[in-house]
Structures are given as C-alpha cells and as structure tokens.
Structure 1
C-alpha cells in the first residue's frame, strides 16, 4: 500500500463535499423520499448498522457514535478514542456493538460495548505498521471478517469465530496477489459482504479495472474478477458490494474526486455467471449499496438511487451521502457528511 493510496482512502470525502452541496430530499412516484433530521455532530459518518425497527447505530470521524431511533439521535464519544475514525460498525443488537476504526497501523482498532454505549472496551488493534483496515462484516453472531489493504503483496482478510474476541489472518496464499496500487476503500464499511452458503466478496480500486474477489467457501480461497467500473486512478474503483437474496452480487463505485462524472457506476454478477455486467443507472459516484428483497438502493456524493421490483434505477435525492442500509423493501437509513442522517420510506 503506497502512501498516496492511504491518503486517498483517508480523505475520500474532502474533495467531494465541496463539489456537491446538500440539497433537499426529492420524492419520485412510488419510490418515496428521504427525511433528513437536524444533525447533532459535524462528524463524517460512514459506519451504519440498523438494529431492528427504527433503531440504528452510526459512527464516523472524531470518535463520534450516534445511537438513533427514527429522527432521535443520541451522540456519544468513547473515552480514549476521540481521535479515531470509526468507519465500520456491526450491531449484534441494540446494546451489543462493535466499532471499527480505520487508519494506518495501530489507528485501526476494534471497540466493543454490551450495554448500549455506557461502557466500552478496546478488544483488538492492528499490529502491522503497514496495515490499514477498511471494513468489517459478520455472517452471524460469531463468524465475522475484517478486510484490510494489501500487506506483503496480498489483501489482509481477518477472521473471527467467537464474535470478535480473537482474530486470525486467513492464509495469504488463498487470496490472489494484489495488482500494483490496488486497494480497498474505507468509504462506507461496504467493501466486504457475506452471501449465502459461505460466500464472501470484497471489492477494490486503483489498478485499472475495479475488481471483485469472491470466495464460495467461507473465505478459504478467493478468485478475482474484473468489473466494468474504471479504476485507472487512486480515487477511482469499486467502493461497495452487496449480495441479493438470489445470490446476485452487486458492486458500485466511481470517482470520489469527480462525483458527477459519467461512466459505469453500477454492475451485477448474476447467479451462474462469471462476468460482471454494467447496470444502467443515473450517473455519479456511489460509495454504498444495499439490497432487501426486490429493492436495491445505492448512495454516494452524487445522491441516492433506487430500483424496486426490477424497475430502472431513479435518483430520489441529490443530497450527498456515504452509506445506506435498507431495513426492509420499503425503508432504510443513510448517513453522510457533516453528521447527516437520512431516513427513507417508500
């Protein structure tokens, strides 16, 4: 991982916010709209994990976390972690949460609360000075993965089987060698995803073509595939992946320094296929994608787009966001710049 790539991922929002000022939420017939309550922080929010109903957790820069329920937001900061950038979250329930910070070397850390944020404990930290964590995801209450940028020529994939208490790096030889300048983006905690029957996928950029690494056996051995999303610069590539209920694998991306640029920003790998196909969508950089049933929603600095029941994608809001998590086929939560939270309802 080069210093330039590290700075790209750490500063992923800096160039984009100025380019796209937040606007009012839009509504399209049958697609609903996004409500954006007033924000209690100026944190750059990227981590997002719903916990059921209208409840969710969000996290971001300057050590901020937000416990939310609908439009209510209760911000908090962890003592001893106010300088960290919490870009990844996994909530096991409303009270039990893992918060992952992203950063070079020991700035990548994992913290746990089991009492709804009253007390926190640091349970794991990156010991590799060349390492940089990008994303965290869990299969269930015990099995989970952390994706980190390449060290020693290959991406770092950490695995836990005890809910995050201990982590082990998967055998490096199971991950194909990274291309020069290739890395993952810690933009939305979305660059690694779990599918059915042990499938694990992560996406990358910066190496010409954006690529997806896919394991069909629980992360033991990955194969790598090109996508039609361009990645011919350190600011370009695939930023997030998500599996659909039928094991369709979606990937989104673009160029965060040019969020309104034309070009492929969305692609799909259908079950049984070996090639990603571009998906027609409104133009612009997308950093996060979420799938629930027949609803697919993606968001980024260019705004939020959605497709329901196989219909073409439409933009429902121009407001820049970083992350989206659908909570049902008709509802979802988003987070983004300047502490913004968005609540979508069809």
Structure 2
C-alpha cells in the first residue's frame, strides 16, 4: 500500500555535505542529518558495508551514499515510479522495486553501480500491488504484495530475481476483509535464522504477523497487540534478531503521535507476541543488530541497547532504518532526508 496520502497510491550528480546533529544521549548516540539533495520520499534502504549504503524513493530517484556523500541518480524510463523497496547484494549490484497498482509495481537491476539499469520484472496482475522485497541469500528472495483472490501475494525467486513464481494458495492463509501490507519502509518482510520468513499486516482489527518457520512454504498468522481497526493502522515492519526473536512495530500513520502499542516481540518457540514498553508514536521501520534494536517513523527514532529501555534519540520524521552494526545505522525519510546514527 502507498502511505502518506492514501494506502495505494536533478541530473546525475554528487554532493559532500555538512551534517546537522540531532540531540544525543549518554550511551545512545545521536543522528546527523546531511542536507537533502533531492525532493523524494525515501523508503528503500540497504547498507552495503562500512559507511556505504543505497536508498531509493519516489519520482524514480536513488542515492548511492558513503557517509555524508550522496551520489544521486534517476533511472531513465522509470521517472514516474515510486521505488519503495531496495536490496543491494553489494555496492554495485542492486535491485530496486517500485510499489504501485498493476504494472506500476516493477523490479529494476543494476550491476555496475547505477551506470545502467534494466527492468527485469513487472506485476502482471491488475489488482496487485507490491509492498516489499527481501532476500535470504544471493539467489533466494521474496516479494510481498497486497491480497488478491483473497490471499496475500507472496512471490519467490531462486535465481537472484530473474524469475518469480507465486506461492501456492495452501501456503498462505486467507486475508481478512480490508487487510493489507504497508509499503512504508520495505520492512514488512523479514528473513530470520534457519530460513524463517515473516511478514506483517494491518487494516483489519488486530495487526497480524504471518510466520513461516520452514523457508517460506507455509505461513501461519498470529495476532499482535498493535491495533489495526482503521486503514491507516497496523503493523508496518518486522525484524528478526540472530537468536530468532521476532520484533514488530507499527501504529497509525495518520496520527503519528497518538498513544497505543507500537512495539511488540515474540520469543523463539512462542506462538504469541507481547507488547514492549516504548515512547509513544507511529513506527514504520525497525532493525536489529546484536543487542541493539532501533525503530523509526514519523514520530522520530527510538533505540534500545544491551537490553535497556527504549529511548528517543531523534524527533526528526523518518520512514526507514537499517543498522549496519550495533553502534551505527542509516535512516531515510521525507523530502530526501538521510540520517546517520552513531552510538
């Protein structure tokens, strides 16, 4: 689903920019925000090692970043697409997924660091809408799409994204009326240890997380404590830690500062989620590395380190976060915003 307005919905250059720090707290660090270089709603984000990362967004824009430096590019022939999903295999090899109704959902690939791009897939279902892309390794990956024919669309590839097939109906439980996923942060699909796969949803009462413990063959739906009693409410992103703990975050994107459960977790071997105490506000993205958990959204960014309580480290609105280590992360958000967190 599209976000912000409703649920479905520069020349190539480089800049080394001065950064503006957000407030910092002892042991939790702070977020530096370089000046924006494009007017794009950034949601796709993929670190590639060290201080390097890729991010993507609306109007066909992408950024290849190295710390504060941002190399900006636009895919020729894709200027109208909204690239909400992104997976970088390395700094040169990247898949960019657009989200939109019907053929507005597309997949593009570069193998030369963005010099050339090739469209390799497009949604052929006029009722379909792609939400997120995630890979297990260099070959196996998933695309999650909104329900069609009464069930979520779960596409699978075993050749690095060249070809895709929809999982059989018996592997995905029926969706509830008005249930869907949110293309808010490319975070509604998560890959866990030992091939576990999970995706989350909203809009149909209680937010749900669908979990496959066997590599994506059969998914089982589990309720979360996050409310989803309106089209703007629900679970927006999921993430596993290395031990198999499954985290989920969400809220109401139309009321980003509203009270209510916005964070929950499920321990390995359990079949239910428990709410986690956290500062209030809508969260659209979550990431886990070691003992660090960071979540972000239009209400700002929160972090827990070494099992400590969640605290807010920035009030700046963001869409997506990816931890590159326990002490560093990249974030992206509205109007070309980039955030660089260091503990």
TM-score range normalised by the length of the shorter chain:
over 0.9
Correspondence for 2:261 among 261, 264, 277? 264
d(CA) in 1 for partners of 2:104 and 2:4? 12
Aligned residues: 333
d(CA) in 2 for partners of 1:70 and 1:10? 32
Matched with 1:102 is: 99
d(CA) in 2 for partners of 1:48 and 1:6? 18
User: How many Å apart are 1:6 and its aligned residue?
Assistant: 11
Moved over 2 A (4+): 4-11
1:318 equivalenced with 2:315 (yes/no): yes
What SS is found at the alignment partner of 1:197? helix
Structure 2, gaps ≥5 residues long: 10-19
1:68 equivalenced with 2:65 (yes/no): yes
Matched with 1:251 is: 248
- Verify the 8 A CA contact 1:5 1:181 in the aligned structure 2: no
1:162 equivalenced with 2:138 (yes/no): no
- Verify the 8 A CA contact 2:331 2:338 in the aligned structure 1: yes
What SS is found at the alignment partner of 2:170? helix
Q: Calculate the TM-score normalised by the size of structure 1.
A: 0.94
User: How many Å apart are 1:10 and its aligned residue?
Assistant: 3.9
Matched with 2:235 is: 238
Greater share of helix residues, 1 or 2? 1
**Greater Cα shift, 324-333 or 25-34:** 25-34
Matched with 1:9 is: 7
1:128 equivalenced with 2:131 (yes/no): no
Between 1 and 2, higher relative CO (CA 8 Å, sep ≥ 6) is seen in 1
d(CA) in 2 for partners of 1:5 and 1:84? 14
1:78-89 to structure 2, matched below 5 A, reads 78-89=75-86
d(CA) in 1 for partners of 2:7 and 2:174? 20
d(CA) in 2 for partners of 1:296 and 1:9? 27
The 3 A distance-change label for structure 1 pair 299 and 9 is: same
d(CA) in 2 for partners of 1:61 and 1:30? 35
d(CA) in 1 for partners of 2:128 and 2:6? 15
- Verify the 8 A CA contact 2:59 2:82 in the aligned structure 1: yes
What SS is found at the alignment partner of 1:163? coil
Matched with 2:108 is: 111
User: How many Å apart are 1:196 and its aligned residue?
Assistant: 1.0
Q: Calculate the TM-score normalised by the size of structure 2.
A: 0.95
- Verify the 8 A CA contact 1:333 1:341 in the aligned structure 2: yes
What whole-Å deviation, never above 9, does each CA across 1:254-312 have from its counterpart, x for those lacking one? 00000000000000001111110000000000000000000000000000000000000
d(CA) in 1 for partners of 2:299 and 2:37? 23
d(CA) in 1 for partners of 2:169 and 2:338? 38
The 3 A distance-change label for structure 1 pair 158 and 7 is: farther
- Verify the 8 A CA contact 1:5 1:183 in the aligned structure 2: no
Structure 1, gaps ≥5 residues long: 12-22
d(CA) in 1 for partners of 2:293 and 2:176? 30
Matched with 1:143 is: 140
What is the CA RMSD across the aligned residues, in angstroms?
A: 1.4
Correspondence for 1:90 among 76, 87, 91? 87
